[in-house]
Amino acid sequence: LRERAAQRAAARADSAAAAADSARAAAGDTAAGAPETAAPADTPAVADTLAALPDTLRQRILARTPLFPEDVDPWTPVGLGPPDRVVEREELDGWAGTTLADILPTLLPLAVDDQGGPGFHNDLRFPDGDASATRILIDGRPLESPLGPAADLRGVPLTAIERIEIRRGPAPVTGGAEAGTVHVITRTHLAPQASSALRFELGSFDREGFGAVLGRWLGSRVSAFGSLHFDDHTTFTRVADAARSRFWTRLRVYPAGGHFVEASLGTSGVTTDTRRSTPADPSPFAGAEDRHERRLGALYRGAFGPVRVSLRGWSDRFEEREGFTIEGAAPVTGAFRRRGAAGGARFGIPGGEAEAGVEWLEEEADSESEVFAGIEAGEKLEPTTRLAGSAGVEVRAGPVDVSARARLERFELGAGSATEPAAVAEARWRAPAGFEPFVRLGRSTRAPSLLERALIERAGLFPAAVATAREARVGSAWRRGDLAAEIAVFERTSEDAPFWTPPTAWRSATDGTTLAVAAPFEDLNVLDVRARGVVARAEAPLAFGVRAQGAAQLQSVETGDGREMPYAASAYAVGRLDWRRRFFPSGNLEVRAALDGRVTGARPTADGDELPAHALTDGLLRVRLIGFTLGLWATNVFDLRYRTEEGLPLPGRVVGFEVFWEFWN
pLDDT of residue 444: 95
Q: What span, in angstroms and rounded, lies between the C-alpha atoms of 477 and 438?
A: 8
Q: What span, in angstroms and rounded, lies between the C-alpha atoms of 241 and 540?
A: 43
Using the CB atoms, write b or e for 555-583: b if 16+ within 10 Å: bebbbeeeebbbbbbbbbbbbbbbeeeee
SS3 90: helix
Amino acid letter for position 528: D
Which contacts qualify for 488-491: CB closer than 8 Å, 24 or more apart? Answer: 488/438, 488/534, 488/535, 488/536, 489/532, 489/533, 489/534, 489/535, 490/168, 490/169, 490/531, 490/532, 490/533, 490/534, 490/535, 491/530, 491/531, 491/532
pLDDT of residue 172: 93
149 secondary structure, DSSP code: S
pLDDT digits (tens, 9 = 90+) for 496-538: 888 766 544 433 322 333 333 334 445 667 889 999 999 999 9
Q: What span, in angstroms and rounded, lies between the C-alpha atoms of 158 and 265?
A: 15
Does the pLDDT of residue 103 top 50, yes or no?
yes
Q: What span, in angstroms and rounded, lies between the C-alpha atoms of 320 and 291?
A: 5
> How many other C-beta atoms can be found within 10 angstroms of the C-beta atom of residue 508?
28
pLDDT digits (tens, 9 = 90+) for 589-643: 999 999 999 888 888 877 777 878 888 898 989 998 888 889 898 888 888 766 5
Q: What span, in angstroms and rounded, lies between the C-alpha atoms of 177 and 497?
A: 11
Composition of the chain by helix, strand, coil, percent to 5: 15, 55, 35
* The most confident of 38-47, 415-424, 498-507, by mean pLDDT: 415-424
**Which class for 286: exposed (0-12), middle (13-18), buried (19 or more C-beta within 10 A)?**
middle
**Closest Cα partner for 650 from 484, 538, 463, 504?**
504
Residue 652 — very low, low, confident or very high, per pLDDT cuts 50/70/90? confident
Q: What span, in angstroms and rounded, lies between the C-alpha atoms of 172 and 140?
A: 12
* Cα dist from 486 to 70, 396, 474, 489, whole Å: 29, 21, 11, 11
Alpha-carbon dihedral angle through residues 107, 112, 117, 120, given to the nearest 10 degrees: -110
Say if CB 240 and CB 261 are below 8 A apart: no
Does the pLDDT of residue 367 top 80, yes or no?
no
Rg of the chain in Å (alpha carbons): 25
SS3 92: helix
Q: What span, in angstroms and rounded, lies between the C-alpha atoms of 556 and 572?
A: 12
55-64 vs 2-27: helix axis angle to the nearest 10? 70
pLDDT of residue 658: 86
Beta bridge partners of 310: 301, 344
Q: What span, in angstroms and rounded, lies between the C-alpha atoms of 517 and 655?
A: 31
Say if CB 545 and CB 594 are below 8 A apart: no
> How many other C-beta atoms can be found within 10 angstroms of the C-beta atom of residue 137?
22
Residue 5: HSE in the Cβ half-sphere, 13 Å Cα cutoff = 5
Using the CB atoms, write b or e for 340-373: b if 16+ within 10 Å: bebebebeeeeebbbbebebebbbbbebebebbe
pLDDT of residue 275: 56
Q: What span, in angstroms and rounded, lies between the C-alpha atoms of 336 and 293?
A: 9
Q: What span, in angstroms and rounded, lies between the C-alpha atoms of 381 and 366?
A: 6
pLDDT of residue 503: 46
Say if CB 127 and CB 111 are below 8 A apart: yes
pLDDT digits (tens, 9 = 90+) for 458-497: 666 567 788 999 999 999 999 999 999 999 999 999 998 8
**Alpha-helix runs per DSSP H in 430-528:** 450-459
**Which class for 325: exposed (0-12), middle (13-18), buried (19 or more C-beta within 10 A)?**
middle
Q: How high is the mean pLDDT of the chain?
A: 77
pLDDT of residue 89: 78
Beta bridge partners of 318: 293, 336
With a threshold of 0.85, does the pTM exceed it?
A: no
* The most confident of 14-18, 26-30, 122-126, 311-315, by mean pLDDT: 311-315
Residue 22 — very low, low, confident or very high, per pLDDT cuts 50/70/90? very low
Does the pLDDT of residue 551 top 90, yes or no?
yes
Strand (E) or helix (H) holding 330: none
Q: What span, in angstroms and rounded, lies between the C-alpha atoms of 466 and 126?
A: 20
* The most confident of 108-112, 154-158, 305-309, 364-368, by mean pLDDT: 305-309
Mean pLDDT of 17-25: 39
pLDDT digits (tens, 9 = 90+) for 137-185: 988 888 888 776 677 787 788 878 888 889 999 999 988 889 999 998 8
* Cα dist from 86 to 76, 82, 83, 91, whole Å: 13, 9, 7, 10
SS3 track for 213-282: EEEEECCCCEEEEEEEEEEEEECCCCCCEEEEEEEEEEEEEEEECCEEEEEEEEEEEEEEECCCCCCCCC
Q: What angle do CA 93, 99, 105 make, to 5 degrees?
A: 85
